[in-house]
């Protein structure tokens, strides 16, 4: 199965109410765990590379490894730049062979977000790469008190113009989730999500998947979310398993590498089943 853009499968997810997960993979070992999970449940999967890792000197080597892994997988695997910080970073991702890029202009004024997203779409589409943008702003879980974040929620009246003028393929929206660990229990505005889905011609994406209940995930997918990003929950699990292993006196390299791979495999399997992605490859 080739390395593929997830655009078509995410569109199917919107129609059939499943969501394709993006798992941020900081290393090849982590990615191997995610792909093993996807193969075990016959699901498509997106391997995300976060923008901060992307500019490290070793990024070309890591990307080459991810590329070979994806090409050898038995299920569709996409490589996606997560939260691309600039036009240049998106172009670099395309050069590295990524199939999908996110340009995150959510902290910019609307017009500037639209301008750069449009440029990214023009370049990416010319070579068959699909693009995600963000409208509204999904902040950090530790950043806002409940209620404060509402000021950054996506406004339905802005969606149509942004999507049609930019040509973007999928849109990340803010309706109550946040990145990282939550300070207080997250509250999702599913009525707002329904409105956003009604005005958007492209599938919607939910960031900040860690820390939500199974009911919240199901409500979001029912409300039109077709791609969900998850990172922190898996990182927390690795931390907990590493601490336990250390307490048991096992701190050697192979034990630690196994914890990373197995944590990714176990939690990615859980999310692929929860999101209805299992069996969709």
Q: What residues are annotated to the active site?
A: 82
- How many helices (H) and strands (E) are present in the chain, helices listed first? 11, 8
179 binds ligand 13P (CB under 6 A): yes
**Cβ of residue 39: shortest distance to ligand 13P, in angstroms?**
22
> Measured between alpha carbons, how far is residue 37 from residues 30, 194, 257, 263, 271 in Å?
11, 31, 16, 10, 10
Query: What's the min distance (Å) between Cβ of 259 and ligand 13P?
Result: 19
Q: Which stretch binds ligand 13P (CB under 6 A): 107-115, 124-132, 150-158, 227-235?
A: 227-235
Q: Which of 10, 230, 238, 259 binds ligand 13P (CB under 6 A)?
A: 230
- Which of 180, 242, 255, 270 contacts ligand 13P by CB under 6 A? 180
116 binds ligand 13P (CB under 6 A): no
CB of residue 83 to ligand 13P, shortest distance in Å: 6
Q: Indicate which single residue of 209, 223, 224, 276 sits in contact with ligand 13P (rule: CB under 6 A).
A: 209
Other CB atoms within 10 Å distance of the CB of residue 141: 20
- Dist. CA 148–CA 155, nearest whole Å: 15
Kindly report the number of other CB atoms within 10 A of residue 161's CB atom. Answer: 13
The stretch near ligand 13P (CB under 6 A) out of 57-65, 192-200, 203-211, 248-256 is: 203-211
For position 82 contacting ligand 13P by CB under 6 A, the verdict is: yes
Q: Examine residue 210 and tell whether it contacts ligand 13P (CB under 6 A).
A: yes
Considering beta carbons, is residue 51 or 166 the nearer one to ligand 13P?
51
Task: Please tell me whether residue 231 binds ligand 13P under the rule CB under 6 A.
Answer: yes
Element (H, E) at 131: strand 130-135
Instruction: Yes or no: say if 83 and 51 are a contact pair by the CB < 8 Å rule.
Output: yes
Distances (CA, A) of 268 to 41, 83, 215: 10, 20, 18
From 163-171, 226-234, 243-251, 268-276, give the range in contact with ligand 13P by CB under 6 A.
226-234
Residue 82 Cα distances to 183, 185, 204, 249, 279, angstroms: 23, 25, 15, 36, 25
Q: Does 134 bind ligand 13P (CB under 6 A)?
A: no
Distance CA 31, CA 147 (A): 36
Binding site for ligand 13P (CB under 6 A): 24, 82-83, 179-180, 207-210, 229-233
């Amino acid at each position: 199965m080739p390395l593929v853009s997830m655009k078509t499968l995410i569109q199917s997810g919107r129609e059939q109410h499943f969501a394709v997960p993006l798992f941020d993979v900081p290393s090849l070992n982590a990615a191997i765990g995610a792909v093993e999970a996807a193969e075990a449940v016959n699901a498509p999967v997106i391997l995300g590379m976060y923008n901060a890792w992307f500019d490290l000197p070793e990024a070309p080597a890591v990307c080459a490894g991810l590329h070979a892994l994806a090409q050898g997988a038995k299920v569709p695997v996409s490589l996606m730049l997560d939260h691309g910080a600039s036009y240049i970073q998106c172009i670099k991702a395309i050069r590295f062979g990524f199939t999908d890029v996110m340009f995150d202009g959510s902290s910019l004024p609307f017009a500037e977000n639209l301008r750069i997203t449009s440029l990214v779409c023009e370049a990416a589409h010319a070579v068959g790469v699909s693009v995600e943008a963000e409208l509204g702003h999904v902040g950090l879980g530790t950043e806002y008190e409940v209620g404060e974040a509402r000021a950054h929620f996506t406004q339905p009246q802005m969606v149509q113009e942004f999507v049609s003028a930019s040509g973007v393929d999928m849109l990340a929206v803010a309706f109550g989730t946040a990145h990282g660990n939550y300070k207080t229990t997250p509250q999702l505005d599913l009525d707002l999500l329904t409105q956003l889905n009604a005005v958007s011609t492209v599938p919607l994406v939910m960031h900040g998947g860690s820390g939500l209940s199974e009911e919240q995930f199901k409500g979001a997918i029912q409300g039109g979310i077709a791609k969900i990003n998850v990172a922190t929950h898996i990182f927390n699990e690795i931390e907990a398993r590493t601490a336990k292993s250390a307490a048991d006196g096992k701190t050697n390299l192979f034990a630690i590498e196994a914890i990373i791979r197995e944590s990714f495999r176990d939690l990615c399997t859980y999310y692929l089943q929860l999101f209805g992605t299992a069996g969709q490859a």
